[in-house]
Amino acid sequence: MAIVSNPFRRSFAESRIFSASALIAALAEVLKRRGVEGGWATLAAQVGMAAFRLAAESWLDEGSDDLGVHLNRAFDQLRLLSLQASGI
């Protein structure tokens, strides 16, 4: 595996994972303070981070100036998937 064999890449990958984990924990904490139950707050933070990651990748791939368009698209898709899964 390339990440394991290259110490710099491994360190960078571990740093990104830690940063994402820290951000998810911070988002979950804010949601809890706003009254969202613990497990649900963590789930929402994780899903939100995943949607953000997809939006950012799409934004970078397209070279677009407006990250907001990609964020809206990602969260719209997430809402659509949620509605389809619930049968609405």
Q: Hey, where are the domains in the chain? A: 2-86
Q: What does the pLDDT read at residue 20?
A: 87
Looking at domain 2-86, does it have CATH number 3.30.1370.10?
A: no
Indicate the DSSP class of residue 66: -
Task: Give yes or no for residue 71 having a pLDDT over 80.
Answer: yes
Q: pLDDT for 12-64, tens place per residue? A: 556 666 688 899 999 999 999 999 999 999 999 999 999 999 998 999 889 88
Q: How far is the C-alpha of 84 from the C-alpha of 54, rounded, in Å?
A: 20
- Tell me the angle at which helices 38-62 and 67-86 cross, rounded to the nearest 10 degrees: 130
- For residue 33, how many C-alpha atoms fall within 13 Å in the half-sphere facing its CB? 6
Residue of 46, 53, 52, 4 lying closest to 26 (CA atoms): 46
Higher pLDDT, 32 or 10: 32
Residue of 47, 55, 1, 54 lying closest to 24 (CA atoms): 47
pTM: 0.71
